[in-house]
Amino acid sequence: MTRTVLITGAASGIGKSTALGAARRGWAVAALDRDGAGAGLAAAGARALGARHVWWGECDVTREDQLADAFQRAGTALGPVDAVVAGAGLEISAAVSQTSLDTWHRVLEVNLTGTFLTVRTAARALQASGRAGSIVCVSSPSAFVGFAGGSNSAYGASKGGISAFVRAAALDLAPHGIRVNAVVPGATDTPMLYSGLDGDALEAERARLRSAAAQQIPLARMAEPGEIAHAAIWLLTDEASYVTGSHLTCDGGLMAKSANTF
Ligand SMILES: NC(=O)c1ccc[n+]([C@@H]2O[C@H](COP(=O)([O-])OP(=O)(O)OC[C@H]3O[C@@H](n4cnc5c(N)ncnc54)[C@H](O)[C@@H]3O)[C@@H](O)[C@H]2O)c1
């Protein structure tokens, strides 16, 4: 079974790995990102893996006009899109009392509103063509638990919103044969974790995170983005045909663990 999959946030990290994973399966891939050049590089990577049907475009998920245009152009280039991964996202860390309204709005706009607009655009296109489909959103453990390190209120709220949205959208779209699910990645070694850092500072932060993961995560390491991509791709396949409104947690056991020892 092949799919035509459209991925937002495809220039980097989990989105890029999903694009490459889909290409390895012979699926047609539409790679979208606010970073158009990065989306183009991801598309080139997909082609290098043998994907014959690849399209890419610059698209900001907070812009409904850009999303509608991208879905339309991807469909024209590749055929109807029947699988979507809403992977675009950002994290801005600040303690709640230090979180500006601009920061709050920006995080909610990209993560939550961007996911809503992506799912709505996909749902409209699928319903217009009468096709079934599968949509995967990207939540986070911060939707379910507070991070001990704190400084996560805007991001956590955006991901909590995504998780609630996934359940509600799944119910609305089930009668149309459209499944909506979320992956819940734990700490995943992508550029998001090193935002604003480079050189020695980036390497120092990577070493710190690896050490923390070894001590705090049951599987004793961060995830590689490809491990999250595998989960997202499975949700897009017919092997997941009875899965909707669901969360697939890929966190190395993080949320299964309590810090309490008594
Ligand atoms: N890395 C982690 O530890 C982790 C954990 C849980 C959830 N997530 C989630 O996974 C998703 C992917 O993150 P990642 O870790 O691969 O990060 P990443 O920074 O590597 O990739 C995110 C991509 O989203 C794109 N993007 C940001 N704003 C956009 C916009 N407005 N329109 C279009 N594209 C936009 C960026 O350009 C980038 O290519 C995000 O939703 C993130 O919140 C990541």
The atom number, within ligand 1, closest to the CA of 35 reads: 37
- Flag whether pLDDT at 48 surpasses 90: yes
Assigned domain for 182 exists: yes
Assigned domain for 113 exists: yes
Same domain, 89 and 211: no
CATH code where residue 65 lies: 3.40.50.720
Same domain, 228 and 217: no
Give the tens place of pLDDT for each residue, 97-109: 999 999 999 999 9
Q: Of all helices (H) and strands (E), which one includes residue 177?
A: none
- Flag whether pLDDT at 147 surpasses 90: no
Q: How far apart are CA 132 and CA 119, in angstroms?
A: 14
Q: Residue 44: phi, psi to the nearest 5?
A: -65, -40
Beta carbons of 179 and 247 less than 8 angstroms apart: no
Q: Name the pLDDT band for 148 (thresholds 50, 70, 90).
A: confident
Quick one: which of 153, 163, 142, 169 has its CA closest to 255? 142
Span from the CA of 9 to the centroid of ligand 1 (angstroms): 6
Same domain, 246 and 214: no
Assigned domain for 92 exists: yes
Beta carbons of 233 and 18 less than 8 angstroms apart: yes
- Flag whether pLDDT at 259 surpasses 90: no
Q: Residue 58: phi, psi to the nearest 5?
A: -85, 130
Same domain, 122 and 161: yes
Catalytic residue among 27, 55, 56, 155: 155
What's the pLDDT score for residue 143?
A: 97
Same domain, 156 and 57: yes
Assigned domain for 259 exists: no
Same domain, 154 and 217: no
Same domain, 135 and 207: no
Span from the CA of 113 to the centroid of ligand 1 (angstroms): 14
Same domain, 173 and 201: no
What's the pLDDT score for residue 26?
A: 96
Same domain, 118 and 218: no
- Flag whether pLDDT at 145 surpasses 90: yes
Assigned domain for 262 exists: no
Quick one: which of 66, 80, 64 has its CA closest to 30? 80
- Flag whether pLDDT at 255 surpasses 90: yes
Mean pLDDT of the chain: 97
Please tell me the total count of domains within the chain. Answer: 2
The atom number, within ligand 1, closest to the CA of 158 reads: 43
Mutate to test the pocket of ligand 1, among 139, 192, 217, 222 (most ligand atoms within 8 A of CB): 192
Give the tens place of pLDDT for each residue, 7-33: 999 999 999 999 999 999 999 999 999
Assigned domain for 149 exists: yes
Q: Name the pLDDT band for 261 (thresholds 50, 70, 90).
A: confident
Quick one: which of 154, 166, 141 has its CA closest to 243? 166
What's the pLDDT score for residue 87?
A: 98
Span from the CA of 87 to the centroid of ligand 1 (angstroms): 6
- Flag whether pLDDT at 260 surpasses 90: no
Determine the longest span between alpha carbons in the chain, in angstroms: 60
Beta carbons of 26 and 50 less than 8 angstroms apart: yes
Same domain, 199 and 183: no
What's the pLDDT score for residue 137?
A: 99
Same domain, 105 and 202: no
Q: How far is CA 12 from CA 64, 80, 95, 213, in A?
A: 22, 24, 26, 22
What's the pLDDT score for residue 1?
A: 80
Domain of residue 35 covers: 4-188+224-250
Give the tens place of pLDDT for each residue, 204-234: 999 999 999 999 999 999 999 999 999 999 9
What's the pLDDT score for residue 239?
A: 98
Give the tens place of pLDDT for each residue, 171-184: 999 999 999 999 99
| 242 in active site | no
Assigned domain for 23 exists: yes
Same domain, 44 and 155: yes
Percentage of residues in the chain having pLDDT higher than 90: 95
Assigned domain for 255 exists: no
What's the pLDDT score for residue 58?
A: 98
Give the tens place of pLDDT for each residue, 151-172: 999 999 999 999 999 999 999 9
Quick one: which of 167, 174, 187, 188 has its CA closest to 247? 167
Q: What is the DSSP string of 115-136?
A: HHHHHHHHHHHHHHHT--EEEE
